[in-house]
Amino acid sequence: MEQAYVAINSGDSEENNNPNTDNLLRAQRKMQLRNVILVGIVFMLLSSASQTSSTVETIVIDSVHDQYFNGTSTLGYKLLAVLNGVIAGSVWISQTMVANIGPKYGMLIGGVCYCIFVSTFIRPLVSTLFAGVVILGVGQAVLWTSEGVFLSLNSDKETIGRNSAVFWALYQTSLLWGNFYFFYKMNGAETIDDVTRYWIFGALVVLAGAGTFLIMALKYPVPKLVPHSINADGSVKVESAEVKSRGLVDSIRCSLRLITTKRMLFAMWTFIYIGLEQTFWSNVYDSSLGYTKKFGTHIADSLVGLSGVFVGIGEILGSIIFGLADTRFPRMGRDPVIICGFVSHMVAIFLVFINIPNAAPLGATFDDGFIHPSFQLALFCSVLFGFGDSAFNTQLYSYLGEMYAADSVPAFALFQFIWGLTCCGAFFYATVLHLYIQLLILAIIGSIATITFCKLEWDYKKTRIPFLQSERSQLADEGTENLLHNE
């Protein structure tokens, strides 16, 4: 029978009065939370290095002019376009790798690739920069596919919302450390000299190395029983949620089958929007601030790093608020959070529209926006972008982790594929489109993504009730001895 709903067995003590089961469940969730916190710290360290590099690379590359390399104002966009194109193409390989070697070692491979990428900025060369983004593209596809699977395996239907928020809050603190360090090194400086670049990217390589080393401390989660479909007699068919080994062709086939479902077709609008808005705030917007010389030549470049810090503040604030809301109001659903994120982004888009000059993404400009550029307003927009991004990402990871719990690799791989293609296209059009057109694209796709995701959530709430009623009587009797096993 067609899968209608997948939920992870929580073993809720109100539904199962077996004290041994309760103890096993508490032990299981304790280990799972440890894994979620550790993987959040890993991503915090790795992304402090890579995300800061990606955020500032357009400005940094434009500052290097010597006998070995001559940077341009849009080369950073082209590198990031290639990066995300490689991510999209590598998803199918990453899916096979993760399914066969497991998410832990997939993340380890990704971490090594991050270290290589960051090191290429210490001495920029055209050949090494492009080689670095290709290596990072492969590594990032493996890393994020692994993370999605690992988070799903370490969560159940009671904890997936909380765990998504905990991971996202820890991960997005990466926007604070690296960007604040860049702001500190650039504060008051008019140019990025060689020594400053060495210090900045040398420190980021150390951070990436520390994150890669910490991956070894992760432990594989225990298997879970998940209700997969309804049998003819009305009972719930239960199977184990784990990483299923499959080849490349089978991996592609599994993901392509998902595309034909109505659920995934609706979800893809959210995939696309996340790619567009992250492309914008992670590099285009920050670069626009650096190119807006009406802020003052002594503070424009430093705003690039400071904007990333304020995006991180918004991300962390959103994750905390949404995580607490999920804990306090578990029946609230995901749609109010998505709507909150959408409103946050629309306000930010309007404020950027009036504050930043239209030509800012394409190079240095002394133009005004509709108002004289205000760096306080610009940083407030950064907070709003981060807050809204945390809403979309935490709810999407929660949705995919719960709906595809029995086999989450194809779903997260498909997300990475669509996301990578979208970012690739967005960075290419960022090299030619002015600011106002880019903001219009964000507003239109964001509206569609919000509507379609809310429709998914409303359909989910309707289908969840009969499954919960049927699973209560069955899961209490079906192999609670499988809840725990050693690694």
Q: Which residues of 286-297 are buried (b: 16+ CB within 10 A; e: fewer)?
A: bbbbbbbebbee
Average pLDDT on 223-235 reads 46
Q: Are 120 and 63 spatial neighbours (Cβ–Cβ below 8 Å)?
A: no
Average pLDDT value over all residues in the chain:
78
**Rounded to an integer, what distance in angstroms lies between the CA atom of residue 413 and that of residue 457?**
21
The SS3 of residue 430 is helix
Containing 254, the helix (H) or strand (E) segment is: helix 248-259
**Rounded to an integer, what distance in angstroms lies between the CA atom of residue 477 and that of residue 7?**
17
Report the range out of 12-16, 305-309, 422-426, 446-450 with the highest average pLDDT: 446-450
Q: Residue 88 pLDDT more than 70?
A: yes
Q: What is the pLDDT of residue 51?
A: 80
Given the DSSP bridges, would you call strands 224-230 and 236-241 parallel, antiparallel or unpaired? Answer: antiparallel
**Which pLDDT tens digit goes with each residue over 356-381?**
999 888 877 788 788 888 888 999 99
**Rounded to an integer, what distance in angstroms lies between the CA atom of residue 210 and that of residue 452?**
40
Q: What is the pLDDT of residue 20?
A: 64
pLDDT band at residue 238, thresholds of 50, 70 and 90? very low
**Rounded to an integer, what distance in angstroms lies between the CA atom of residue 427 and that of residue 283?**
9
Give the CATH superfamily of 19-482. MFS general substrate transporter like domains (1.20.1250.20)
Q: Residue 83 pLDDT more than 60?
A: yes
Q: Which residues of 98-134 are buried (b: 16+ CB within 10 A; e: fewer)?
A: bbbbbbbbbbbbbbebbbbbbbbbbebeeebbbebbb
Strand partners, 292: 365
> Where is pLDDT greater, at 387 or 466?
387
For the chain, the domains span 19-482
pTM above 0.85, yes or no: no
